[in-house]
Amino acid sequence: MASIEEYIPIVGQSVIDDLRLLAERLKGKIVQNINSTPVGGGVAEILNCMVPLLKELGVDARWDVIKGGEQFFDVTKKFHNALHGRKEEIEDRDFDIFMETSQKNIEEVNTYGDIVYIHDPQPIALVRKKENNKWIWRCHIDVSNPNQKVWTFLMSFIQHYDSTVFSAPSFSRKLPIRQFLISPSIDPLSDKNKELPQETVDEVLRKYDIIKDKPIITQISRFDRLKDPLGVIASYKLVKQYIDCQLILAGGTAADDPEGAKVFEEVQAEAKEDKDIHILLLPQNDMEVNALQRASDVIVQKSLKEGFGLTVSEALWKAKPVVASNVGGIPLQIKHKYSGLLCHSPEGASFAIKQFLNNPQYAKKLGENAREHIRNNFLITRHLRDYMLLFLSLYRGEDIEYL
Ligand code: UDP
């Protein structure tokens, strides 16, 4: 784990000095993060790097995980899809299952934080334990067009929080409490994003039998329908008619995502006759994800819906040409034809991929722009600053001085 000093060459001394000043003001406050999985997916990814850095800065940050069984996570996955606007049959029984597990967690999880920072819908009901402490609900989902039944249900909890946080302006909702817009971020020094020697990249390619002399197109994502892995294969097949290339679809499954295994099988079935398609079920292995991203000629994120899309930031930071859908937080990261190419369909994606593969100079230029865009907006240091300002704002006019 990198120390805060190591970020100075990347973002500059003054950024780190500011973080120290903010952290000083939060001394004595416990910030307790709560989510539903310690590994897999963007939320765990961010907490794994955010919590140790806050601690190093002197903020007493903690991280707890709620418990839930298969039925609970089936329901929360359904809620997740419905909040993203996908059609789902939500029954009364789903709410009962959600509440049964929530009730157990209300009894078992100690919400000791001065600030209790709840991530996403799974632990949202814990707010019933609210006492004199401050509660924040952090929504990582694009809820701009949510299923009304699920949203109304969540609202019965949200209204008891002190503040909410959304990832992008378009995700915010009309709410009776304060809302903050804070984009997620990536850690440039994590195993996932740090520079890697070429030998390490080559070693990972050898491990997965991927050759170097055909262009590599890659999507790294959980095997989830909203990530549209079948759409990625369709896009690749359209490119393949003109350019002999390879496709890597690499992903794991998250502990709170029960659909993964099924989608993985569908993807395997779709790809099975083509030796140039590499379907990799990665165990949580950040270095390998890093190596695969670095080995790629083009990175794709063809999501149908997306929260923020950390995989896009990771690819852009590596100065890769990225083709991604114009959904969720992706357009915040990709300015079309400046820091990547946006698409809306397999045809659009294949056109953009071909443009990059046929014009390496263009691909390189957009990749360079992309890296600077991430440096300026989506690194962990900016995120730490936003979070600490948010925490301080909760005490406006109270016992600690607000900057
Ligand atoms: N990820 C990973 N291994 C995988 C699939 C994804 O480490 O097999 C990481 C990926 O690199 C990114 C995060 O999980 O850091 C996914 O975050 P994103 O916002 O892209 O999507 P989410 O899974 O939260 O919908």
Q: Where are the domains of the chain?
A: 4-185+380-393, 198-377
**Strand 163-166 and strand 246-251: pairing?**
unpaired
Mean pLDDT is lowest, of 16-20, 260-264, 349-353, for 260-264
- pLDDT tens digit string along 323-375? 999 999 999 999 999 999 999 999 999 999 999 999 999 999 999 999 999 99
Which ligand 1 atom is the nearest neighbour of the CA of 250?
8
Determine the atom of ligand 1 nearest the C-alpha atom of 184. Answer: 19
Q: 30 alpha carbon to ligand 1 midpoint, in Å?
A: 28
- Read off the pLDDT of each residue in 86-107 and give the average, rounded to a whole number: 97
Percent of the chain surpassing pLDDT 70:
98
45 CA closest ligand 1 atom index: 15
Distance 89 CA to ligand 1 centre (A): 27
Of the pLDDT bands very low, low, confident and very high (cuts 50, 70, 90), residue 397 is low
Contacts 24+ apart (CB under 8 A), 51-57: 52/1, 53/4, 53/380, 53/384, 54/23, 54/384, 54/387, 54/388, 56/3, 56/4, 57/4, 57/19, 57/20, 57/23, 57/384
Pick from 139, 218, 267, 311 the residue to mutate for probing ligand 1's pocket: most ligand atoms within 8 Å of its CB. Answer: 311
Is 23 strand, coil or helix?
helix
Which sign does the torsion angle of CA 48, 49, 54, 58 carry? positive
CA of 40 to the centre of ligand 1 (A): 6
Mean local confidence (pLDDT), 87-105: 97
CA of 310 relative to ligand 1 center, distance in Å: 7
Distance of alpha carbon 248 from alpha carbon 280, whole angstroms: 7
139 Cβ neighbours under 8 A, 6+ residues apart = 120, 121, 164, 165, 166, 167, 171
Q: What pTM was estimated for this model as a whole?
A: 0.91
Q: Which fold has domain 4-185+380-393?
A: Rossmann fold (3.40.50)
Q: What pLDDT score does 271 carry?
A: 94
For the ranges 34-38, 170-174, 225-229, 317-321, the lowest mean pLDDT is seen at: 170-174
Which is nearest to 385 in space by CA: 182, 247, 245, 154? 182
* d(CA 28, ligand 1 centre) in Å: 33
Superfamily of domain 198-377: Glycogen Phosphorylase B; (3.40.50.2000)
Residues with CB under 6 A from ligand 1: 41-42, 45, 192, 220-222, 250-252, 282, 286, 289, 307-311, 314
4-185+380-393 and 198-377 agree in CATH topology: yes
- Residue 222 alpha carbon, nearest atom of ligand 1: 5
Distance 309 CA to ligand 1 centre (A): 8
